[in-house]
Structure 1
Amino acid sequence: MNHRFLGNHAIGGERNDRATLERWFARLWLVLPNLHLTVNEIWVTGWPWNTTVLVQWDGAATLEDGGGYRQHAVHIITLRWGRIVALDVFEDSQEVARALAIQAAAGISDAAAPPIVS
C-alpha cells in the first residue's frame, strides 16, 4: 500500500507499509481529534484488477483556539482485485499547515512533529 499526503508538515509525506500508515492515522486523530468528513461524490472506473476511485469530500474541525478548519479535497484510490494499493490525498496544504500550527501552539506537540514516512 502506498499512501501520499501532500505537504511538508506533521501529516504530510509518503507511507508504504501498514504499520507506518497506522501510526499516521493515530497522529491524524491526535492533531485533529474532532475532524468530520462528508463524502460528496464518488466516481469509479476500471476493472477488478485495476480500479480507480475518486472521492470528493469536505472536512471540518474545530481547532484548539476555537477557530475552524475547513477542507475541500479529493482522494484518488487505486484498487487491485478490491484491495487498496495506493491512496493519494489532494488537499489545500496551506490550510493543513495553518491548522497544524494552531494545534502546535496550543500544546499538541505531534502537530509540529516531522512527517511519519516509510
Structure 2
Amino acid sequence: MYHAMVRRRVIAAFAGLSAGRIEAVTDELAPDAQHYFVGTHALSGTRRTPDAMRAGYERLLRLLNGISFSVQEVRVSGGPWRTQVQAIWTETNRGTDGVVTSAEGVNLIEIRWGRVTPVRIYPDTAALEATLQRISRKGTPEALSPPLTS
C-alpha cells in the first residue's frame, strides 16, 4: 500500500512538471534536500537551496519548451523512514527552436518520512547536450550557460 502511494506521488510530480507546474516537484522536497543533475551543461549542477532548485526547473522549462515526461516504471523499496525510488522516464520537448526531440533518463530519489531528501537526475546526456548545442546555435545563448549550483 505504501509503495503504491509513493509511485502515485512520483508519477504526479512528473505530470505536474510536464504541465509547467514547478511546485509539483518543489513541494515534495524536504527543507534540506539536495538536487543533483548529472553533467557539465546548462541544466546540470548540485543545488542545495529552494531558490536554486526552482531556478534549475525554471531554466529547464525555458530551454526545453513543452517538455513532457512519460514515466515507464517506478520502482520503490524501503519503509517511510528511508524509501528508495527509481523513476525511469522518457521526455519529449520542442526546444526553443521548435524541433522535437526525445530522450530517456532515470531519477534516483530518497524519501524520508514523506519528503524527498536527495534527488539525482541522470538523463541521456549526449542527447541533452546535442539539444542544448542546437538551440544555442539557433539563438538561445542560455543553453550554453554554466550549471546552476548553490
Which TM bucket (shorter chain)? over 0.9
Query: Counterpart in 1 of 2:53?
Result: 21
Distance 2:132 2:66 in 1: 14
Distance 2:98 2:50 in 1: 33
Identity %: 29
Query: Counterpart in 2 of 1:93?
Result: 125
Equivalent pair of 2:64/2:96 in contact (CA under 8 Å) = no
The one-letter code of the counterpart of 1:74 is V
Distance 1:106 1:72 in 2: 24
The one-letter code of the counterpart of 2:145 is A
Q: How does 1:1-118 map to 2 (within 5 A)?
A: 1-118=33-150
Whichever structure has more strand as a proportion of its residues is: 1
Structure 1, unaligned stretches of length 5 or more? none
The one-letter code of the counterpart of 1:115 is P
- Give the CA RMSD over aligned residues: 1.2
The one-letter code of the counterpart of 2:78 is G
**Deviation per residue, 1:55-86 (Å, 9 max, x gap):** 11111112345533211111111011010001
TM-score by length of 1: 0.93
TM-score by length of 2: 0.74
**Deviation per residue, 1:74-117 (Å, 9 max, x gap):** 11110110100011111111111100011111222221111100
The one-letter code of the counterpart of 2:120 is D
Equivalent pair of 1:75/1:90 in contact (CA under 8 Å) = yes
The one-letter code of the counterpart of 1:33 is N
Distance 1:108 1:29 in 2: 13
SS in 2 for 1:47: coil
Q: How many residues align?
A: 118
**Higher RCO structure (Cα 8 Å, ≥6 apart):** 1
Distance 1:59 1:85 in 2: 23
Whichever structure has more helix as a proportion of its residues is: 2
**Deviation per residue, 1:19-39 (Å, 9 max, x gap):** 100000010011001111101
